[in-house]
Amino acid sequence: MAGTRRSSRQVAARSSSTTPIKRESDMDGLPPPSTPKRKREAVKVDPSEIEDLLTATIKQEDTGSAQGSPKKASTSERKLASYKASITGSPFPDHPLPTAAEAEQVAWILGEFHGYKRESEGGRGLPRYTPPQGDDKYGGCGDVPSVLDATIRTVLSCNTSNRNSAAAHRSLTDHFGRRNWEAIHAAPESELVEAIRCGGLANNKARTIKGILSQTMEKHGKLSLDHLHTATDDEIMQELVSFNGVGPKVASCVLAFCIGRQSMAVDTHVFRLCKSLGWVPEKANRDQTYYHLHERVPGHLKYPLHVLLIQHGKRCANCSAKGFATVKEEVEDEEGEAQIVDRPCPLKAAGLLGRKGKALKDAALKTEPHSGSKVKTESESGTSEVKEESASVKAEDEVDYAAALSAARVASSSELFKMVQKARNTRAKNPLSARLKASGYSLELQHASELSSEQRKRVFSLFEANMKAMYRNSTLGWKPSEKKKELFDAESRFAIIRPPAEEGAEIAGFAMFRFDTERSVEGDPTRRPGEDKVEVIYLYEIQIRKANQRDGLGKELMDIVYTLGKAARMRKVMLTVFDHNKPACEFYRQQGYRVDPVSPSQDAERSGNVDFDIMFKQITQQS
């Protein structure tokens, strides 16, 4: 029954209710020592990590010595602005890998190679996050419950071996006492340098640690960051990267290992292997790699892939930086004698290393059903071009709606975006109305599977803020787990409007829709004789954050959904709204929507048991 089916997908109450990524040297590295040049410490360091973490020049903040001269942004402000601009999306939106399917494939190839068994085979599956247990150990990259302790340990681990970082942490503890942040904060920087000298790069790390403690005390009045345990992922990252010397890698380690969130830190091994796999372009730096993986890798795979890529980068002869292997196997030579040899790399055996150009695109098409699929093929020419049928040539009753629905369901996000561009007669990367563009808003179209874990949290948070009270007062009740399943279903598509870039990864509004079929009854103007269902674009949710509910975002999203329905040759747009959400009901009527004949409110036997309406707007193909 339509009413029963519809009750699980209420759109219910729709209250209308980039800066470029900076070069690594401009980012957030540990500051250089202020003391005169001295003999290089005998610590081996990785050049890529040095460029990312240690070479940024931290200048004294301009205090405007010349009267009236503008004050330059501090390093912390520049870094935070860079993070906010970068976290909104991948710096390489057209790079096809990794797809969700390939990320899963690589995780299991590496997992099985390094001794992890599938649960179906009696194993525990891929590596899983466990609560911090490193309190009684020295060193580590965040495996302790104290956020401040985790941050400082991770800083000490940068650009050195585990042995050296553990030695530096032990020396720090012996000198000042365990987690005696007050003593470290009060001590001169030179004393801290001597305490951690054995770990390498002591001048840089001491300045960073002192800065973290000073900024923490100044901002919070105490030397603790444990409030971050209850903050959102984005709030945690923003606070941590605002510290001079703390970049996405350190912040992501703390986020993943201390706080237990889905985050994939990019260390030297992860960075090297991601380039070998073709998951990022050759020109990518480490911070860009982090932002790209943040968008592309499914949340549940971020922790296991981080662990496995590091493990593989250290132990595989083919993939380690020095060609050193600790993964061995016993084989027989030609004379039948047992020989211990390096175990062959499974990534190389699977053909996943060294791919370029067309090979990357082919890999994406093989592993991602929603990526790059063509809407319809021309069998006579043998090409796979999108077939465009002009409404001016073909009459409404001649349209093959079933084929149109099949095409719409497999269309990629980029193909849908091009539909909006074409309908609005523009090639602009941001095809919003001129007024919204001028105000700094931007448009994204994404499949549910393409949303990062952080984006999903923001989407649901906005939905909950707008709708929780209405659902509690309805016959449906508030069932968050069911709503999450509905929102992020495999067929769900999202049109997201972002606020100006300075607000970071926030969402000003979104529409969630699907291409589907719906039951049709007598009186439906889109129905052909004898039909009992029609092809539609169903608008499940349209949510605008309260600060933007008078900015015209609701109408813009409604227009985009209608445009996509028309371009995909659906018959009508449908939606559901609570009866008691009077502003939304009136808004939809103003947009040309009316109650659908299939709505349970039109059934005399059922109308008394529901408190919502199903509404529709017929799509006309004539211009």
Identify whether the C-beta of residue 115 lies closer than 8 Å to the C-beta of residue 123: no
Task: Classify residue 257 by its DSSP letter.
Answer: I
Identify whether the C-beta of residue 9 lies closer than 8 Å to the C-beta of residue 483: no
- Which position among 79, 84, 249, 617 bears the catalytic label? 249
Identify whether the C-beta of residue 30 lies closer than 8 Å to the C-beta of residue 204: yes
Residue 330 sits at φ, ψ, to 5 deg, of: -100, 125
- CA–CA dist 288, 295 (Å, integer): 11
Identify whether the C-beta of residue 571 lies closer than 8 Å to the C-beta of residue 526: yes
Q: Is 120 exposed, middle or buried (0-12, 13-18, 19+ CB in 10 A)?
A: exposed
Identify whether the C-beta of residue 509 lies closer than 8 Å to the C-beta of residue 497: yes
- CA–CA dist 297, 236 (Å, integer): 20
Q: Which two tokens stand for residue 281?
A: 């372009």
Task: Classify residue 594 by its DSSP letter.
Answer: E
Q: Which two tokens stand for residue 50?
A: 């040095």
Identify whether the C-beta of residue 593 lies closer than 8 Å to the C-beta of residue 615: yes
Task: Classify residue 145 by its DSSP letter.
Answer: S
Task: Classify residue 138 by its DSSP letter.
Answer: S
Told to judge if 249 belongs to the known catalytic residues of this protein, a careful annotator would answer yes
Q: Which two tokens stand for residue 466?
A: 């707008």
Q: Please name every residue paired with 544 in a beta bridge, in sequence order, or none if there are none.
A: 509
Q: Please name every residue paired with 515 in a beta bridge, in sequence order, or none if there are none.
A: 537
- CA–CA dist 513, 342 (Å, integer): 51
**Among candidate residues 498, 515, 524, 530, the one with its CA nearest the CA of residue 616:** 524
Identify whether the C-beta of residue 480 lies closer than 8 Å to the C-beta of residue 464: yes
> Where would I find the beta strands (DSSP E) of 75-157?
none
User: Which residues are annotated as catalytic?
Assistant: 249
